[in-house]
Amino acid sequence: MALFADIRILGCGAGLLLAAQCGSAPTQSGPPATKPLATNVQADSLVDDAIRALLDTVTASTSGRADARLGLQAGAEVRALYGPAGAPVWLVGAGPSPDAAGALALLAQAPAHGLRPADYGSERLLLLRDSLTRPAELARRTLQLARFEAYLSDAVLGFMRDVSRGRLHRYTVSASEKAAGPSGQPVARLRAALASHAVPAAMLAGQPANREYRQLQQALAQWLALPSAPDSAAQQRARYEQVAATLERWRWDALPPTPDYVLINIAACELLVVANDSVQHRYRVVVGKPTTPTPTLSSTIDHFTLAPDWHVPRSIATREMLPQLKRDAGYLARHNYALYDAQGRLLDARRISWARVTAQNFPYTIRQSAGCENALGNIVFRFANPYSVYVHDTPERQVFARPYRALSHGCVRLETPFALAAYLLRRGGQPVQLPSEAECARQPRPRDVRLRRPMPLFVRYATCTAEGGRLRFLPDPYHRDETIRQGLFGPSPAP
């Protein structure tokens, strides 16, 4: 069954993946009552034996071929769930339990989380469930029950892993799970959920908790419930897969819990100040070009510098300035740059034979003093990171009017930096005594201002966001979505 057909079926009612058309919600949430086994044999013991034989716990521990043969994606976890006893966890008598019905319903809603029901064998599971309502010989029924058990456990544990860490990343125990011990790991969480009959909640408990993921997932669920025009199926599919790729990326790199923070979304060319789960301020920014992309990172803004000097990165000095110097040795002086040797001594660029200097043997450092033409403008926000990037002002204010703003060498240029500085000072209870931009220009002396309350900073790449419960689709300037999209959904269908 095609993915987007699955998605639209989701919006029809109670999440019956194989339903033929939309209609009124079924009155019965679980599967039809099953007929009892027509035998006096100890059926439970037979099912236990069948589960143990199916999972082949003795040989499967030394070979992955058993999982491939059975089509299990979480074979090790499934075997850990059943243990040596092999007692069923999803059956009541000879039929699915209410916990099984709840798990199947949530698996049918996988598209609302950017995932495919087919990846969890939903069709196979529903066919198995329905087969339990039909008469069968004891041996066949026992095998059907064992297969339903193993495949449902595999689907649930696989979904729990994927919704927590992402489908395209191999699962590893996180630091928080290690700290929580075995009870914090998926198999233990599922056992506890089965004991308390809270399976759907446990299946979703590992989702990223940050507002960006939550709001995007909720907006996707609402969007899927809306009708779509038949001639827009291809566009709808593309839009859906864009959201799914963004949700997957958030699962890889979710934000840690913190009450307030600065978030820079590279794809949106925006800086958000978030407090108490709501956006307090929104600013336009310029981010790195596709050839010099802004990196994603997590850090903390702990101070800012007024009237900063700019120490030109070596990459810019050799790739962009060196060719200028070969043509015109006066280039540095005209743009307020100073040239220094390896010992920090000031040099005269006009006395150097630039024709002999290459990017490989470039022995100099270049610094631009504070002033109106300084590339960092009048203020720069500092935060520890291994990429030597920062958020800063710029003298080129006209660029913020452009819709496409992936234009920098990797640092982030901010449209109204003094407004952000004032907010950070107020947040820490510090008096707001910032000079005007004109005062910075008249007195270009660098001065650091330490924040009493450093501000968490996150730089992420999300090509879809949620605004007021509605999806907002953004460009993909670094062309990163396609690899994720193909990993989740395979090659695009032919036109």
List the domain boundaries for the chain: 3-207, 209-309+372-495, 314-368
Average pLDDT over residues 195-212: 96
The predicted pLDDT at position 99 comes to 97
pLDDT digits (tens, 9 = 90+) for 404-436: 999 999 999 999 999 999 999 999 999 888 887
3-state secondary structure the chain: CCHHHHHHHHCCCCCCCCCCCCCCCCCCCCCCCCCCCCCCCCHHHHHHHHHHHHHCHHHHCCCCHHHHHHCCCCHHHHHHHHCCCCCCCCEECCEECHHHHHHHHHHHCHHHHCCCHHHHCHHHHHHHHHHCCCCCCHHHHHHHHHHHHHHHHHHHHHHHHHHHHCCCCCCCCCHHHHHHCHHHCHHHHHHHHHHHCCHHHHHHCCCCCCHHHHHHHHHHHHHHCCCCCHHHHHHHHHHHHHHHHHHHHHHHCCCCCCCEEEEEECCCCEEEEEECCEEEEEEEEEEECCCCCCCCEEEEEEEEEECCCEECCHHHHHHHHHHHHHHCCCHHHHCCEEEECCCCCEECHHHCCHHHCCCCCCCCEEEECCCCCCCCCCEEEEECCCCCCCEECCCCHHHHHCCCCEEECCCEEECCHHHHHHHHHHHCCCCCCCCCHHHHHHCCCCEEEEEEEEEEEEEECCCEEEECCEEEECCCCCCCHHHHHHHHHCCCCCC
> What is the amino acid identity at position 3?
L
pLDDT reading at 37 higher than 90: no
Averaged pLDDT score across all residues of the chain: 85
Grade residue 2 by pLDDT with cuts at 50, 70 and 90. very low
Grade residue 493 by pLDDT with cuts at 50, 70 and 90. low
Q: Active-site residue numbers? A: 392, 411
Count CA atoms closer than 13 A to 171's CA, side-chain side: 19
Is the C-alpha dihedral spanning 423, 428, 429, 430 positive or negative? negative
Of residues 492, 486, 493, 495, the one with CA closest to residue 244: 486
pLDDT digits (tens, 9 = 90+) for 60-85: 555 567 788 888 888 889 999 999 88
Percent of the chain with pLDDT over 70: 85
Q: Residue 315 is encoded by which pair of tokens? A: 């990459």
Residues β-bridged to residue 346: 340
Q: Which of 129-143, 275-289, 326-340 has the highest mean pLDDT?
A: 275-289
pLDDT reading at 224 higher than 80: yes
The predicted pLDDT at position 62 comes to 54
Q: Residue 101 is encoded by which pair of tokens? A: 């019905």
Grade residue 288 by pLDDT with cuts at 50, 70 and 90. very high
The predicted pLDDT at position 262 comes to 98
Of residues 30, 34, 12, 29, the one with CA closest to residue 21: 12
The predicted pLDDT at position 314 comes to 87
Average pLDDT over residues 347-363: 89
pLDDT reading at 17 higher than 50: no
Average pLDDT over residues 262-276: 97
pLDDT reading at 380 higher than 90: yes
CATH architecture of 209-309+372-495: Beta Barrel (2.40)
pLDDT reading at 451 higher than 90: yes
Average pLDDT over residues 257-284: 96
User: Using CB atoms within 10 A of its CB, is residue 449 exposed (0-12), middle (13-18) or buried (19+)?
Assistant: middle
pLDDT reading at 13 higher than 60: no
pLDDT reading at 170 higher than 90: no
Percent of the chain with pLDDT over 90: 57
